[in-house]
Structure 1
Amino acid sequence: MPTERLTIPTTRGYELSGALELPSGLVRGAAVFAHCFTCTKQSLAAVEVTRALAQHGIATLRFDFTGLGQSGGNFGRAGFASDLEDLIESTRYLADRFGKGLLLVGHSLGGAAVLAAADMLEEDTVAAIATIGAPAEVEHVLGTMKGDFAAIERDGEGEVDIGGHHYNLSRDFLEAVREVDLLAKVKALRIPLMFCHSPTDEIVDVDNAAQLFTAAKHPKSFISLAGADHLLTRSEDAGFAAGVIASWAHRYIPMREDWPMPEQGVVVKTGHGKFGTEVHTHSHRFLADEPTSYGGDDSGPTPYDLLNAALGTCSAMTMKMYADRKGWPLEGVTVTVTHERDHKDECNHVAAMEEGRQMQALHRRIELQGDALDEDQRARIIEIADKCPVHRTLEGVLHVHTKSVD
């Protein structure tokens, strides 16, 4: 799956560093992932969950909050209010690219952030929210710190220890954490919510999930991450959480409005890695790509695979239709088609060569299943393969007309 590195401008004069995990297939929807307190977008949970969501067709953005990882700004002076601004600006960035109706996923304090920020965004921007190990009170994060909070409030700033790392925190940081009534915000939300929590979480007790779930309005869900630790340090736990969230979110994330469903023909759209291209018919969607040896992601059949498939499938369908109409005991058909770019035909097609065109060929091998078929029936069925519509199109006079449109 391709990972796109990007930066998100802020209104505070610096940029946030982000990584967008893109599905190798069709994009079903989009999500923003908010990492845990003092973590970064490169934490194991952030990487595992966002890539797992991408495998489920959800393009997922993870980013570094202010002053962490590769993002600009000062972490100690930023505080929870700044986290909300980061999340709002990152969500707007993704909405501009993929449209509204996004999924927000937050881990630990990032879970508190997505719950608190949801009602600060434009209407319909957020379709659903899922949290992993989120606290019921933002102030819970202060319990992970060692420091003299009274001195920080008196002097305006001071040093604290967070997991063995030292940070200078400001008085504004503490005040922003203490003033948020998270349960009241959850109670006011009117969007689908999912709370994922491990009953053995030793950092944020599972009772926090119970409080959040009680405060939330329906539709709401709880998923037990039994056996997982708070940071989801095992990839199987992160993968499980992402898989459950993705399956749940499919009910609420709207299909992208820019997916064309043409009345006739096909529409193709680039946008999946270097060569990956969406193919849209009236009722189906899939991806075409080039193999990795050609610089692609090998996420779908190649254009020549599709050309071969057009002849092969049309041949098989035509033969089956003919045999059914005759009432002949044809049990099945296997058609193998290969493409030859430089064809040296024994008949030497002079007309094509005189026009300077390269001679190419499609080689078709047909296997008929059905022991009860006699030789005449087999010969007639093979003969009818040449009557299939795609065969006639390929061997007829075919013009391609191209028109540029705005």
Structure 2
Amino acid sequence: MDVVAWITAASLAAWVWLLLCRGFFWRTDLRLPARSREEIDRWPDVCVVVPARDEAAVLPESLPSLLAQDYPGRAEVFLVDDGSSDGTGDLARVLAERHGGLPLTVGSPGEPPAGWTGKLWAVRHGIGLARAREPEFLLLTDADIAHQPDSLRTLVAAARAGGYDMVSLMARLRVASGWERLVVPAFVYFFAQLYPFRWIAGKRARTAAAAGGCVLLRDEAARRARVPDAIRHAVIDDVSLARAVKRSGGHIWLGLAERVDSVRPYPRLGDLWRMVSRSAYAQLRHNPVVLLGTVLGLALVYLVPPSALVAGVAAGSAPTALLGGVAWAVMAGTYMPMLRYYGQPLWLAPLLPFTAFLYLLMTVDSAVQHYRGRGAAWKGRTYARPRAAPEQR
């Protein structure tokens, strides 16, 4: 066997390992834990905290769904207007008057101090307002997330039944444009590969992650983990939140959503590119060595199989072509469940190497933007790497 065949064999070995030894990340049957069959005598108080910055375009779809929650206990919504310039706060008040439902409080924390991201500063302000009501649970949800009427009831019932301190749902992202069909399901697929959902629920497992669009959190667990203060500089705040809760002894769970949807559109490739690249290098801890390893790993796992198949056929090398074809088939097979979950045609599965190549370029671009001083830019703010943030006591 030549060198190319050996490299292809390594890629196939990597796919066999991913298929069998990575927490079955490719399966999409891990959904919200079933409700307890026993009727809850007293539904706990819940406060919903919604950080919002320039969200007037999506708020008419998302906020009414929160106000219309069919929750048997006491629940209240706190929307925190994080310095919006498009009238987000005023629109929220208008929507509350028009639709009624759960009580709504709109607050504004002002600009975040040094060392805080805008979203976490807004979350901190919202939690402060909520704690005046002494809730048992906090629902942290983004302003672009729409909830089915029984979403809150189901989340709370699952947390109670499973004894979880945090229950998070990966909201079903919008898939309408051609680029969304190509990129969005792969985004969730890659996330699950990086943080296998089945490992997250294990009390002894170190893996911890959450989906920031929908996080139900016990207030007691939040206090114990000192969040959001302990993660005030985190750009990838959902993963940092999960790690903080789990480190403090919390039991957490993450799965795919059936009642929670993102209404934010990403119709063009540039929109999706900015979504990924703004935090990709932060995910790699701003480490160029880790970046190099990630690029090489992506190339080995996703780009080698189709390249080897084509090269093997062209050169008449049966071992190379066979190994590349089998690796590509395993790759496509693991992607099919996610495509089904998103209701997309299965012929998109063999295109995963192309999508992975786009993500590779987005990751490299994230590093380039970081070193140009434009990394982690979002809605007019650019954040430094965490070590640059001053310590607060």
Larger Rg: 1
Structure with bigger RCO (C-alpha 8 Å, 6+ apart): 2
TM bin, normalised by shorter chain, reads: under 0.3
> Which protein has the bigger strand share?
1
TM normalised by structure 1 equals: 0.25
